Chain A
Amino acid sequence: MKTTRNLGVIFFPAYDWAISPTHPEREERLLYTQDQLREEGVFDLPNITEYKPEIATYADMERTHFCFPGPQEVSTESHLVAAGGAIKAARLVMEKQVDRAFALVRPPGHHAMKVVHGNRGFCNINNEAVLIEFIREHYGNKKIAIVDTDCHHGDGTQDIYWHDPNILFISLHQDGRTLYPGTGFSDELGGPTARGRTINIPLPPNTYDEGFLYVIDNLVQPILDDFKPDLIINSAGQDNHYGDPITNMNSSAQGYARLNEKLNPDIAVLEGGYSIQGALPYVNLGIVLAMAGLDYSQVREPDYNPESLRQSLEITNYIDKLCGLTLKNYFQPPPLKVKPNQYDVRAKTVYYDTDGINDQQIEQIMVCTNCSGVRHLTSKTQRNSSCMGIEIPIDACKRCRDEGYRLLEEGRRNFKGTTLKFVNRLEQEYLTINEFELTPMGRYYF
């Protein structure tokens, strides 16, 4: 007999929102999932309750992202509701109204990076990051692990937490050499202050349930046992499914349910998954039942045929080796050549596939021995000629805090771009400077 748990499901299908009429991210993406959950009577089960999403605020966005020129310009109401669904999940769990929560919401978010100029990879706002920053703002700084089981590398979430030692980001995905966004390789391990806190497991095409479960048992679990997070969040993309039209993996509803049961996340947030008739109804049902501690053994896709899905021995051996290597990378990450208490600089180009934006970024992080380090970046696109972001992290030491204000003063004097964003997570002060006009965003209270 399994232990049943109280599960809150925030189901928000956004039936009036699509990227375009034939885009995979369109109105009826969760329609058949809703049909399935309704017909099964899931919300009549005594330990499963359906909740309405909250509406995220611009403050929730600005706490998480540098939105250029501002949150209003890079999001729509639908993004605020999806992020609000994730916030609702956080609130339900943190206030112990439920044991577990599943934000079954769209649009998705895990390709949205620290800097947001528009939509990339179907995402504008990173729902999981908004959720985490909401928790840290209102319930104190926590150690949180995000396990991203979407088929695409969660490059947005990785970017946001690249320098954060308190947030462990683990992504299981189809190898970037074969799929969008083309990143997420084993040597991407986090920045100098958070080395080993980013873990990538690029899996070969045609990986079956056994491969995913092997990674959970032999890699994810030992890492979680060591990291000891206060909360585990699952970015529950469902496009590893064998029926997904835009990926090449072989996972099934049973595999997803079992994975969820093993991982036992406090909160799950839907990400991708575009086999909307053949996979999502069954995968979502499986995840809901697994999270609620109910019997999912009879959840099955109509065309499920394990014989045709099994992975080759070659894949099994490859994954075995990959796990060994990655485990080593977590426990003994190869050190970076950086000097303590100086800025480390990385330059990068970010392409927004949906909106066709090219972003040239230069990011500097203080390699601080006492905190996550003050972050300073500049960003240039066709739309926003030059933008600047300064962030004092939530765990900032006095030096990094003061350094943040020094950078702000310097920015005020010398910055010649369009928008400057200043975020002080320590004392919850947020500023936007447009063309040198100072607009206080004020302090945001709970």
Chain B
Amino acid sequence: MLLGIDVGGTHTDAVIIDRGEVTATAKVETDQSNLIASIDAVLEKILSSKPNQSISKINLSTTLTTNSIVEKKLEEVGVLAVSGPGLAPSSFSNDLGQHFHLIEGSIDHRGSRQQALNEAAAQDAVTDCKHNKLKVFAVVSKFSPRNPEIEQTLAELVSDQSDFTTIGHRISGRLNFPRRLATAYYNAAVWRRYNLFADAITQSIKKHKLDAPLNILKADGGTIDFDNSRKNPIQTILSGPAASVMGIIALSSITEDAIILDIGGTTTDIAIFADGAPLLEKEGVSFGGRATSVRAIDTHSIGIGGDSAITISPEGKLMVGPQRQGPPMALDGHKPTLIDACNVKGLCRLGNCDNSFAGLQELAEKNHLTVVELADNAIDLALTTIRDEADKLLETINQRPVYTVEEVVHGEKINPQKLYVMGGPAAILAPLLSKIFDLETEVPDNYAVANAIGAALTKMTMEVELFADTGKKTMLIPNLDIRRKVSSSYSLNDARKDGISELVKYLRENGHPEIADQNISVVEAEAFNMVDDYAVGSKTIRVSCQIRPGLEEEIKIK
């Protein structure tokens, strides 16, 4: 049996799933100032109805790290950055705390050291950090995925006084220095708070006599195992929307290009699927004022939901949202909302419909409209705005740059065939959305706990990048900290094999003995001939392997 827990903004949900069936659910209010108490409470509630010894896996989606960053509950970090020539430091040094140290040294795009690390300056920076009693560090150099030496030296220099050091190339093997820098900083800044939370979770699980592996949800629609998350807490940010998206996959058999709408009280989240799989942000999610390298499902949030207020400006412009004025008047609110408009139109009968009618009528009369006209216009405006935003997102995705003639000329575009709608007002609005989007529309059952179901069923994901240079006879897999000599005849095929086998080996040694080669997908594999001084016919090889987001045992709940 699988146990999924989703700590959301308002509610904490839990579900138990037994061979494809939801056998128990529980919901408690989230106490954002005490997440452990909320998790305790929901465990208490759900386990009171179910024997717990048969739970085989626990998946938890939590807002701890997200909140830490949003609320700036961040520990001061000693940031040691080595950028070398390029962009001015002012373009990447903002929002990284009070202890940012830029140190001389440089590595180029091929991983050649062009300027040695200024170790004396590095030592001065470390002394300064010591003076300021800093205990966590982030060490990041430009092009460290091509040559990690400078970062390794820096990590060594801080090791005496560091409780925890985030090393840039372990965060991501992809090239993007400012993102790696910001991600490493956040990871170090939330590390202690996350680990205290993790200790409490361990206690809580023990208290409830659960003895199953624990995994934490990530923003990419996958999980990370609990021990690993203690070193990579940044990976747990923004897992909530990802849990919902995975939930809808569990509740509907999505196989086509599709648009997913999660309509809440205040906002609607839009996600796009290609061939049944959610699309990820191109490089990583932006968060807390900085772009990061944390992989995330590409969701787009707009300020229209069931509780969005209907207003008319003095100039006569009708608006729905973005501010939430809920609850609706039908439930004794003070301003007419989208749900009140639905009540007026007879699309639903929530609470006291007379209140909805009265509220809209007052606004309609002031603006020389009939109450039905106003309700029609408001609903139409809300839904066309959602459609326009979805179209915009789709256009952005279809216009993403590609780098081969083949892809530009013959590349396939995403062409949604179906609309999936979930959230409170989903059933009410689905028929209208179907018309406005001109798409077949499905509202899955059980969507009220879709997020917890998504959490329960989500599988582990991981990505590694391999980079080889046969001129220099080196092969690196930065985030596994692998760097070794290869022969000058090392091929793209060798690189594929190494990428797969190293990822499998790492996962087997880190709590996933079930992983085999066939679980790994090679998502990018390129080799280019280099014609230069090193050797004619040497190659630069880039391979990217991953375990794609997916559901445990392909369980479908109907």
Give which listed residue, B88, B408, B529, contacts A28 with CB less than 8 A.
B529
Q: With the chains together, A297 CA to B110 CA distance in Å?
A: 22
* Neighbouring B residues of A55 by C-beta, 8 Å: 408-409
Give which listed residue, A44, A295, A301, contacts B88 with CB less than 8 A.
A295
User: Would you call A395 an interface residue if the criterion is a C-beta within 8 Å of the partner chain's C-beta atoms?
Assistant: no
* Neighbouring A residues of B401 by C-beta, 8 Å: 11-12, 50-52
Chain B contact residues, majority secondary structure:
loop
Most chain A beta-carbon neighbours within 10 Å: one of B91, B177, B178, B400: B91
- B176 contacts A41, C-beta separation under 8 Å: yes
Nearest CB in chain B: distance from A376 CB, A: 35
- A39 contacts B177, C-beta separation under 8 Å: yes
- B403 contacts A81, C-beta separation under 8 Å: no
Q: With the chains together, A39 CA to B526 CA distance in Å?
A: 18
User: Would you call A16 an interface residue if the criterion is a C-beta within 8 Å of the partner chain's C-beta atoms?
Assistant: yes
* Neighbouring B residues of A294 by C-beta, 8 Å: 87-88, 91
* A15-B403, A55-B409, A285-B86 as given contacts; A277 in contact with B177, CB under 8 Å: no
User: Would you call B372 an interface residue if the criterion is a C-beta within 8 Å of the partner chain's C-beta atoms?
Assistant: no
User: Would you call A150 an interface residue if the criterion is a C-beta within 8 Å of the partner chain's C-beta atoms?
Assistant: no
- A32 contacts B405, C-beta separation under 8 Å: no
- B175 contacts A35, C-beta separation under 8 Å: yes
User: Would you call B287 an interface residue if the criterion is a C-beta within 8 Å of the partner chain's C-beta atoms?
Assistant: no
Nearest CB in chain B: distance from A350 CB, A: 27
Interface residues in B66-105 (C-beta closer than 8 Å to A): 85-88, 90-92
User: Would you call A53 an interface residue if the criterion is a C-beta within 8 Å of the partner chain's C-beta atoms?
Assistant: yes
Chain B residue nearest in CB terms to A275: B532
- A31 contacts B405, C-beta separation under 8 Å: no
Nearest CB in chain B: distance from A221 CB, A: 27
* A44-B178, A285-B86 as given contacts; A26 in contact with B529, CB under 8 Å: yes
Nearest CB in chain A: distance from B397 CB, A: 11
Most chain A beta-carbon neighbours within 10 Å: one of B106, B179, B405, B531: B405
* Neighbouring A residues of B409 by C-beta, 8 Å: 55, 77, 80-81
- A299 contacts B408, C-beta separation under 8 Å: no
User: Would you call B507 an interface residue if the criterion is a C-beta within 8 Å of the partner chain's C-beta atoms?
Assistant: no
* Neighbouring A residues of B179 by C-beta, 8 Å: 41, 44
- B109 contacts A52, C-beta separation under 8 Å: no
* Neighbouring A residues of B115 by C-beta, 8 Å: 302
Q: With the chains together, A300 CA to B115 CA distance in Å?
A: 12
Give which listed residue, B87, B109, B291, B528, contacts A27 with CB less than 8 A.
B528
- A45 contacts B408, C-beta separation under 8 Å: no
- A299 contacts B406, C-beta separation under 8 Å: no
- B91 contacts A15, C-beta separation under 8 Å: no
* A12-B408, A44-B179 as given contacts; A277 in contact with B110, CB under 8 Å: yes
Nearest CB in chain B: distance from A338 CB, A: 45
Nearest CB in chain A: distance from B284 CB, A: 10
- B90 contacts A38, C-beta separation under 8 Å: no
* A52-B402, A302-B108 as given contacts; A295 in contact with B90, CB under 8 Å: yes
Interface residues in A28-44 (C-beta closer than 8 Å to B): 28, 31-32, 34-36, 38-42, 44
- A53 contacts B176, C-beta separation under 8 Å: no
* Neighbouring A residues of B91 by C-beta, 8 Å: 41, 45, 294-295
- A31 contacts B528, C-beta separation under 8 Å: yes
- A39 contacts B408, C-beta separation under 8 Å: no
- B405 contacts A299, C-beta separation under 8 Å: no
User: Would you call B459 an interface residue if the criterion is a C-beta within 8 Å of the partner chain's C-beta atoms?
Assistant: no
> What per-residue 1/0 map shows which CB atoms of A60-73 lie under 8 Å from chain B?
00000000000000
- B403 contacts A297, C-beta separation under 8 Å: no
Chain A contact residues (Cβ within 8 angstroms of B): what range?
35 or more
Chain A residue nearest in CB terms to B407: A16
* Neighbouring B residues of A15 by C-beta, 8 Å: 403-404, 526, 528
User: Would you call A351 an interface residue if the criterion is a C-beta within 8 Å of the partner chain's C-beta atoms?
Assistant: no
* Neighbouring B residues of A282 by C-beta, 8 Å: 85
User: Would you call A199 an interface residue if the criterion is a C-beta within 8 Å of the partner chain's C-beta atoms?
Assistant: no
* A28-B540, A302-B114 as given contacts; A39 in contact with B405, CB under 8 Å: no
Q: With the chains together, A52 CA to B88 CA distance in Å?
A: 27
Give which listed residue, A13, A39, A281, contacts B403 with CB less than 8 A.
A13
User: Would you call A298 an interface residue if the criterion is a C-beta within 8 Å of the partner chain's C-beta atoms?
Assistant: yes
* Neighbouring B residues of A3 by C-beta, 8 Å: none
User: Would you call B143 an interface residue if the criterion is a C-beta within 8 Å of the partner chain's C-beta atoms?
Assistant: yes
> What per-residue 1/0 map shows which CB atoms of A16-27 lie under 8 Å from chain B?
110001100011
Q: With the chains together, A321 CA to B261 CA distance in Å?
A: 69
User: Would you call B48 an interface residue if the criterion is a C-beta within 8 Å of the partner chain's C-beta atoms?
Assistant: no
* Neighbouring A residues of B88 by C-beta, 8 Å: 294-295, 297-298
- A16 contacts B142, C-beta separation under 8 Å: no
Give which listed residue, A11, A16, A28, A289, contacts B530 with CB less than 8 A.
A28
Most chain A beta-carbon neighbours within 10 Å: one of B179, B401, B536, B540: B401
* A39-B142, A41-B87 as given contacts; A281 in contact with B109, CB under 8 Å: yes
User: Would you call A240 an interface residue if the criterion is a C-beta within 8 Å of the partner chain's C-beta atoms?
Assistant: no
* Neighbouring B residues of A22 by C-beta, 8 Å: 529, 531, 536
User: Would you call B34 an interface residue if the criterion is a C-beta within 8 Å of the partner chain's C-beta atoms?
Assistant: no
Q: With the chains together, A35 CA to B147 CA distance in Å?
A: 14
Give which listed residue, B92, B400, B404, contacts A41 with CB less than 8 A.
B92
Nearest CB in chain B: distance from A326 CB, A: 35
Most chain B beta-carbon neighbours within 10 Å: one of A28, A42, A76: A28
* Neighbouring A residues of B536 by C-beta, 8 Å: 22
Q: With the chains together, A53 CA to B405 CA distance in Å?
A: 10
Nearest CB in chain A: distance from B212 CB, A: 40
Interface residues in B129-187 (C-beta closer than 8 Å to A): 142-143, 174-179
Q: With the chains together, A21 CA to B527 CA distance in Å?
A: 13
Q: With the chains together, A98 CA to B91 CA distance in Å?
A: 21
Nearest CB in chain A: distance from B172 CB, A: 12
Interface residues in A277-331 (C-beta closer than 8 Å to B): 277, 281-282, 285, 289, 294-295, 297-302
A contact set with B: CB distance below 8 Å: 11-17, 21-22, 26-28, 31-32, 34-36, 38-42, 44-45, 50-53, 55, 76-78, 80-81, 84, 277, 281-282, 285, 289, 294-295, 297-302
Question: Can you list 13 A-B pairs with a CB-CB distance of less than 8 A?
Answer: A22-B531, A28-B540, A38-B175, A38-B176, A40-B178, A41-B92, A41-B176, A44-B178, A52-B400, A52-B402, A81-B408, A289-B87, A295-B90
8 cross-chain pairs, A with B, having the tightest CB-CB distances, nearest first? A41-B178, A28-B528, A302-B114, A295-B88, A300-B85, A39-B175, A16-B404, A38-B175
B contact set with A: CB distance below 8 Å: 85-88, 90-92, 106, 108-110, 112, 114-115, 142-143, 174-179, 283, 291, 399-406, 408-409, 526, 528-532, 536, 540
Given contacts A32-B110, A298-B86, 7 further A-B contacts (CB under 8 A): A14-B405, A16-B404, A22-B531, A39-B142, A52-B400, A81-B409, A299-B85
